[in-house]
Amino acid sequence: MNGKNKGIIIFGGTGDLTYRKLIPALYNLFSTNKLDNNEKIIAIGRRDYSQEMYHDIIREWVKQFSRIKYEEEVFNAFLLHVCYYEMDFTNLDEYEALASYFREKEIENPIFYYAVAPQFFGVITDGIHSIKECCKGRIILEKPFGNSLDEANRLSHKLEESFGSENIYRIDHYLGKEMIRNIETIRFDNPIFANNWNYEGIENIQIQALEEVGVETRGAYYDHAGALKDMVQNHLMQILTLIAMEKPTPEHNIHIQQVEVLKALRPVERLIVEESLVLGQYDGYLQEDKVEPNSKTETYAALKLFVENKRWKEVPFYIKTGKKTGTREMSVIITFKKTNPDVDANILTIKIQPLEGISLKFNMKEPGDSDSIIQTEMDFCQSCIARNRINTPEAYERLLLLCMQGDQSWFSKWDQIYLSWKYIEDLKLEYRKLQLPIYTYEQNSEGPKEVDQILNDESHVWAQSQLVCKI
């Protein structure tokens, strides 16, 4: 086939991910001239929609969710790229017709986006594989990669055998966030940090991702996942490994360095689990739609982990995430060792969202005749500058573009996912075996009040990263 066109084929074209994230991201790429003229976006769904109906639906989502303001004329031009294709993707007999459709549209080597639940990954893989002669391409998928680690492992091997590992792009949208991509530069290109980024310079590291929202309409999925699977084993372990890894080199790329950190985590069998993990559930969770009435699923998790290598020795890494915590805040807080017990610690905060920036607390002499030492703060709010907001693509936009360019560096590899999944699963199993409680916490509170005490977290600086600058 002599394909003249490129294609992004979205399985799950009428799903939430497509409407909220993928279509707005593609619209933004189009608006910023990053979508090639010959790029076709084919949304596959089972619903009986006409092209016009589908276009009208996505218009409303783009108005609501696009980073770049909706403009009628631009959107109408964008629609020339978007087609709706009705199909039951669980029926292998329908793939030959899909191949004919690609031929008709002259699409070659498309990107297939699995925006569907993991139980459909296998059948879609078989379907695409069956039309491989016409349509070799790249595959994008995202968590959950399977309903269990075994299933995900099998699926991953099947995908790699069918399409080659160089064509599999596993999205972790946190890797597309501006300040997460900034971690390497902040760490390695500032000698004041680079030279102190170890157990001699750092007291503890805290990674927090607090959410204001609850499970909303995703009760059925979330009740099987819980905070550990939903946030910790993917997004937050990505951040931990970026913070803890050695500097990437051409021989040891970022991915290899991240995996080394995962391998160096203190093994679960040597952790005192009752002092390393606290799980909580917000009051009212059991009344959420599609949640089991006596569910023991955690909506909050706090962990204390250690990376046992030369760089980190006994430095604790605290991770904390929860829904309905009354605030939306994601940050990494690095507390440096004090020069003497009478002064405050220097604290570096990398602010990931909602505002992006960096702040540093340090000590100064109080102005005037006093010799007292006071703590002061330098605070840079990157996203408070309008130009930065306009120029910063959102995570999905950035990652879709990287996939189109064939750049896998900001996508997860299976060994990395496997190691963090296994680690977090083992930890949770131990927690269950020990019959440790799932603490109930009030909605709009900071989470279970027992956390600091159980984890023996003496620093109490979790909430110190609030930005003062308002947009």
Burial category of 390 from C-beta neighbours within 10 Å (exposed 0-12, middle 13-18, buried 19 and up): exposed
Q: Is 178 in the site for ligand BG6 (CB under 6 A)?
A: no
Q: Is the peptide bond before 354 cis (omega within 30 degrees of 0)?
A: yes
To ligand BG6, the closest distance from the beta carbon of 461 in angstroms equals: 21
To ligand BG6, the closest distance from the beta carbon of 218 in angstroms equals: 7
Q: What is the per-residue binding string for ligand BG6 in 350-369, x denoting contact by CB under 6 A?
A: --------------------
Site for ligand BG6 in 209-248 (CB under 6 A): 211, 230
Grouping H, G, I as helix, E, B as strand and the rest as coil, residue 222 is helix
* 216 versus 366: smaller Cβ distance to ligand BG6: 216
- What is the β-pairing status of strands 202-210 and 329-336? antiparallel
Size of residue set near ligand BG6 by CB under 6 A: 3
DSSP summary character for residue 11: E
Q: For 279-312, give the DSSP string.
A: EEEETTGGGSTT--TT----SEEEEEEEB-STTT
Q: Would you state the structure tokens that stand for residue 39, as one six-digit string? A: 């790029």
* Closest C-alpha among 128, 125, 48 to residue 96: 128
To ligand BG6, the closest distance from the beta carbon of 222 in angstroms equals: 7
To ligand BG6, the closest distance from the beta carbon of 3 in angstroms equals: 33
* 108 versus 329: smaller Cβ distance to ligand BG6: 329
* 211 versus 446: smaller Cβ distance to ligand BG6: 211
Q: Would you state the structure tokens that stand for residue 124, as one six-digit string? A: 């879609």
Instruction: Please give the Cα distance from 342 to 346 (Å, whole number).
Output: 13
* 39 versus 211: smaller Cβ distance to ligand BG6: 211
* 40 versus 398: smaller Cβ distance to ligand BG6: 398
To ligand BG6, the closest distance from the beta carbon of 374 in angstroms equals: 34
Give catalytic status of residue 235 as yes or no: yes
To ligand BG6, the closest distance from the beta carbon of 226 in angstroms equals: 10
Determine which one of 81, 235, 255, 460 is catalytic. 235
Q: Which residues in 106-123 are b (16+ Cβ under 10 Å) and which e?
A: ebbebbbbbbbebebbbb
Sign of the CA dihedral with 465 first, then 469, 470, and 471 last: negative
Give the torsion through C-alpha atoms of 164, 165, 171, 175, to 10 deg.
-150
* 173 versus 361: smaller Cβ distance to ligand BG6: 173
DSSP summary character for residue 15: S
Q: What is the per-residue binding string for ligand BG6 in 257-286, x denoting contact by CB under 6 A?
A: ------------------------------
* 13 versus 219: smaller Cβ distance to ligand BG6: 219
| Pair 139, 112: CB distance under 8 Å | yes
Residue identified by tokens 């979508």 is 35
* Closest C-alpha among 89, 75, 96, 74 to residue 44: 89
To ligand BG6, the closest distance from the beta carbon of 467 in angstroms equals: 16
Q: Would you state the structure tokens that stand for residue 239, as one six-digit string? A: 């951040």
Grouping H, G, I as helix, E, B as strand and the rest as coil, residue 332 is strand
Query: What is the Cα gyration radius of the chain?
Result: 24
121-130 and 95-104 helices, crossing angle to 10° = 60
Distance of CA 397 to the CA centre of its chain: 14
Site for ligand BG6 in 111-170 (CB under 6 A): none
E-strand stretches of 154-247: 168-171, 202-210
Burial category of 94 from C-beta neighbours within 10 Å (exposed 0-12, middle 13-18, buried 19 and up): middle
To ligand BG6, the closest distance from the beta carbon of 234 in angstroms equals: 7
Nearest-CB residue for ligand BG6 = 230
Site for ligand BG6 in 303-342 (CB under 6 A): 330
* 211 versus 452: smaller Cβ distance to ligand BG6: 211
Catalytic machinery residues: 235
Q: Please report, as ranges, the residues that interact with ligand BG6 according to CB under 6 A.
A: 211, 230, 330
